[in-house]
């Protein structure tokens, strides 16, 4: 209908190359068509006019938020939340608008949505499941209870998406901080290469990552002569490349994200500066005789090789972040990932579930 086209009309070029934006625009268009259909079946009246106006307003806000989120990526977090919340509100208003016969046909999908997001012992979920079994056309109270359960399910779904966004931002922030720290160490190492050199003194030799020479009686003079400005940079690059290879190997264990936030990418990026720093720290520990039997590497190649090993060892630290990231993504329920009935959720009150 013409009204439905107007409700979702406008520029959408900004979201066409963004998968989440495409899916959201498709849902908005579907809700607009459904609104037209239910408006025609509901008949005229002040209540119908109010519900149609409210749903139309929220659909317009949702579409505008999607377009802005694609163009203004630095504001994407709040805009994605706005698009999701407005589309969900529009859906609940359309459900209230639907005539009794249409609502009865919607019940299986609505109950499935509630079951995906609310715990088993939640009273609202129990009411929705009961409605599917004992639905009567004149039971207005039961219908309102189902709509309230759907609204609660959407709210919990939105909170999980916010949790994913928060986790992704934390990971990106830590990655940026570690990257800055690694860059600062490389610069300081280049400007003062003999202050904390990554060098070793095997028998009669002084060996550094990029150079070496015979030893004398003065340790500091040997380190000053053998150390080079590129030592720290070379070690960090070796650790970073090793971490990149390790991250590529672990991608097979990571599921993609269906949300607007790419948590797997954030986890992979975090490994790169972590590998660069663990390479440096590992060699410093060896130089400080922290590892018995590995106190004196013989060649520059051995130093680089151990930098590669320590760079790959970042997986020992980041695997805990990987596990947390997988848990956060799995918390976003859906048809392929229904929400488990944990004791904490099952025991929680309905008011506790809805508190902001």
> CA distances (Å), 162 to each of 10, 158, 166, in order?
27, 6, 6
Q: Which stretches does DSSP call E strand in the chain?
A: 205-207, 212-214
261 vs 242: CA distance, rounded Å: 26
Between 215 and 5, the higher pLDDT residue: 215
pLDDT for the residue numbered 326: 79
Within this chain, do residues 222 and 74 fall inside the same structural domain, yes or no? no
Domain boundaries, position 240: 166-330
- Is 241 in contact with 276 (CB distance < 8 Å)? no
Confidence tier at 349 by pLDDT (50, 70, 90): very low
Q: Dmax of the chain from CA atoms?
A: 99
314 vs 236: CA distance, rounded Å: 12
Within this chain, do residues 15 and 155 fall inside the same structural domain, yes or no? yes
Asked if the model's pLDDT at residue 337 lies above 50, the reply is no
Instruction: Please report whether residue 349 resides in a domain.
Output: no
- Is 237 in contact with 190 (CB distance < 8 Å)? no
- Is 277 in contact with 181 (CB distance < 8 Å)? yes
pLDDT for the residue numbered 343: 40
Helix (H) or strand (E) holding 248: helix 231-250
User: How many domains, the chain?
Assistant: 2
Q: How many other C-beta atoms are found inside a 10 Å radius of the C-beta of residue 40? A: 10
Per-residue model confidence as pLDDT tens digits over 244-302 = 998 887 766 666 556 667 788 888 899 999 999 999 999 888 887 776 666 667 788 88
226 is written with which tokens?
Answer: 């053998």
58 vs 38: CA distance, rounded Å: 16
Per-residue model confidence as pLDDT tens digits over 114-170 = 998 888 888 999 988 888 888 777 678 888 899 999 999 999 988 888 888 888 889
Q: How many other C-beta atoms are found inside a 10 Å radius of the C-beta of residue 32? A: 25
Within this chain, do residues 14 and 152 fall inside the same structural domain, yes or no? yes
Confidence tier at 350 by pLDDT (50, 70, 90): very low
Within this chain, do residues 13 and 145 fall inside the same structural domain, yes or no? yes
Half-sphere exposure of 330 (CA within 13 A, CB side): 9
Instruction: Please report whether residue 348 resides in a domain.
Output: no
114 vs 120: CA distance, rounded Å: 10
pLDDT for the residue numbered 71: 75
Per-residue model confidence as pLDDT tens digits over 73-129 = 666 777 888 899 999 999 999 999 998 888 888 999 999 999 988 888 889 999 888
Q: State residue 212 phi and psi, 5-degree precision.
A: -175, 175
Q: Which of 142, 162, 182 finishes a domain?
A: 162
Provide mean pLDDT across the span 187-196. 86
Within this chain, do residues 230 and 107 fall inside the same structural domain, yes or no? no
Within this chain, do residues 158 and 12 fall inside the same structural domain, yes or no? yes
Within this chain, do residues 125 and 183 fall inside the same structural domain, yes or no? no
Within this chain, do residues 191 and 284 fall inside the same structural domain, yes or no? yes
């Amino acid at each position: 209908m013409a009204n439905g086209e107007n409700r979702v009309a406008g520029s959408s070029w900004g979201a066409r190359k963004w998968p989440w934006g495409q899916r959201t625009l498709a849902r908005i268009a579907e809700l607009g068509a459904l609104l037209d259909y239910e408006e025609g079946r509901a008949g005229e009246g002040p209540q119908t006019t109010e519900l149609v106006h409210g749903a139309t307003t929220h659909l317009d806000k949702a579409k505008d938020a999607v377009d802005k989120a694609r163009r203004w990526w630095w504001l994407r977090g709040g805009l994605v939340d706005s698009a999701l919340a407005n589309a969900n509100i529009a859906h609940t208003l359309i459900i209230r608008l639907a005539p009794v016969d249409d609502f009865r046909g919607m019940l299986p999908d609505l109950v499935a949505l509630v079951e995906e997001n609310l715990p088993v012992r939640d009273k609202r979920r129990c009411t929705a499941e009961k409605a599917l079994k004992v639905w009567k056309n004149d039971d207005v109270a039961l219908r309102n209870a189902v709509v309230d359960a759907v609204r609660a399910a959407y709210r919990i779904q939105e909170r999980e998406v916010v949790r994913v966004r928060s986790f992704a931002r934390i990971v990106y922030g830590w990655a940026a901080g570690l990257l800055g720290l690694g860059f600062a160490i490389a610069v300081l190492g280049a400007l003062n290469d003999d202050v904390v050199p990554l060098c070793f003194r095997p028998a009669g030799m002084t060996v550094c990552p990029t150079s070496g020479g015979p030893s004398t009686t003065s340790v500091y003079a040997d380190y000053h002569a053998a150390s080079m400005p590129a030592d720290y940079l070379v070690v960090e690059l070796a650790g970073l490349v090793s971490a990149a290879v390790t991250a590529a190997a672990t991608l097979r264990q990571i599921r993609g994200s269906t949300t607007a936030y790419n948590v797997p990418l954030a986890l992979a990026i975090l490994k790169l500066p972590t590998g660069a720093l663990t390479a440096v720290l590992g060699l410093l520990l060896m130089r400080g005789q922290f590892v018995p039997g590995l106190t004196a590497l013989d060649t520059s190649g051995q130093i680089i090789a151990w930098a590669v090993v320590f760079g790959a060892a970042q997986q020992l630290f980041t695997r805990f972040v990987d596990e947390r990231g997988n848990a956060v993504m799995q918390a976003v329920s859906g048809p392929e990932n229904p929400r488990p009935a944990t004791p904490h959720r099952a025991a929680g009150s309905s008011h506790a579930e809805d508190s902001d």
